[in-house]
């Protein structure tokens, strides 16, 4: 049985000489005192880099309790303030909604390949107020608004036709409605950071890593360099 398992394994192909992280370095003297300010600087540089076609893409990880089972997915980061990082989604039926209800902690990862940079964020979550969610919902394309009303996100459906029928029903429901309202279960979730790590790729895996940590949102940030 072990031999069969070994025969079916896909080989791992990795040629480190073909791609080295060698564009930039990161020194403590370059860092802002506040990690939110530092992130804003790096994010602006990622948006300005034409090779970074989707700089707002994030991996959003959550964990269900009491099992501790972790799940992750790629989402789009939407808003930043000095309190934290906000995403928008379905918080009624989605898997991440269930996770957050049982465990308010979450993690976000940004990776900008061309800049050879990564930012990791860990913290606790909170739902933004209704006014903020409705404000953002108004900026979405009409089709996305109808989609938010139509998809029982993460629930089992029979086939594509069932989803199309739900969308058609809501298209008819909101026919002639210029301002489609935001569903009660849909809105913003903010990750309030307790740790933000900035990673700058360097040759030979000797990367530069700096972590800002605090025990609570009311504590000052402590910054340290981490071994790669």
pLDDT value for 15: 66
Asked whether residue 216 carries a pLDDT value surpassing 70, the answer given is yes
The answer to whether 140 is a known catalytic residue is no
Least confident of 12-16, 45-49, 71-75, 127-131: 12-16
Rounded to two decimals, the pTM is: 0.87
Tell me the domain boundaries of the chain. 28-140+184-225
Percent of the chain whose predicted confidence (pLDDT) is above 70 = 95
Cα–Cα distance between 211 and 207 in angstroms, integer? 13
- List, for residues 114-157, the tens digit of each pLDDT value: 999 999 999 999 999 999 999 999 999 999 999 898 888 878 87
Residue 181 has pLDDT above 60, yes or no: yes
CATH of segment(s) 28-140+184-225 = 2.30.110.10
Exactly one of 205, 209, 214, 223 is catalytic; name it: 205
Phi, then psi, of 187 in degrees rounded to 5:
170, -165
Mean pLDDT, the chain, integer: 92
Higher pLDDT, 12 or 63: 63
Q: What is the pLDDT of residues 86-106, one digit of tens each?
A: 999 999 989 999 999 999 999
Q: What average pLDDT does the segment 192-196 reach?
A: 98
């Amino acid at each position: 049985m072990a031999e069969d398992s070994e025969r079916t394994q896909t080989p791992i192909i990795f040629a480190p000489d073909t791609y080295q992280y060698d564009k930039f370095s990161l020194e403590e003297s370059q860092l802002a005192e506040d990690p939110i300010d530092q992130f804003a600087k790096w994010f602006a540089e990622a948006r300005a880099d034409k090779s970074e076609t989707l700089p707002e893409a994030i991996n959003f990880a959550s964990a269900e309790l009491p099992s501790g089972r972790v799940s992750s997915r790629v989402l789009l980061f939407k808003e930043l303030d000095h309190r934290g990082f906000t995403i928008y989604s379905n918080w009624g039926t989605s898997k991440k909604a269930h996770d957050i209800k049982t465990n308010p902690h979450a993690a976000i990862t940004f990776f900008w390949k061309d800049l050879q940079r990564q930012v990791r964020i860990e913290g606790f979550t909170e739902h933004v107020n209704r006014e903020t969610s409705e404000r953002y919902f108004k900026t979405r394309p009409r089709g996305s608004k109808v989609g938010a009303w139509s998809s029982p996100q993460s629930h089992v459906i029979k086939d594509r036709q069932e989803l199309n029928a739900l969308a058609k029903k809501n298209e008819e429901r909101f026919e002639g409605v210029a301002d489609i309202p935001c569903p009660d279960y849909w809105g913003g979730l903010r990750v309030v950071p307790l740790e933000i790590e900035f990673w700058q790729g360097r040759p030979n895996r000797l990367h530069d890593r700096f972590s800002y940590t605090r025990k609570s949102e009311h504590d000052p940030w402590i910054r340290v360099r981490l071994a790669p």
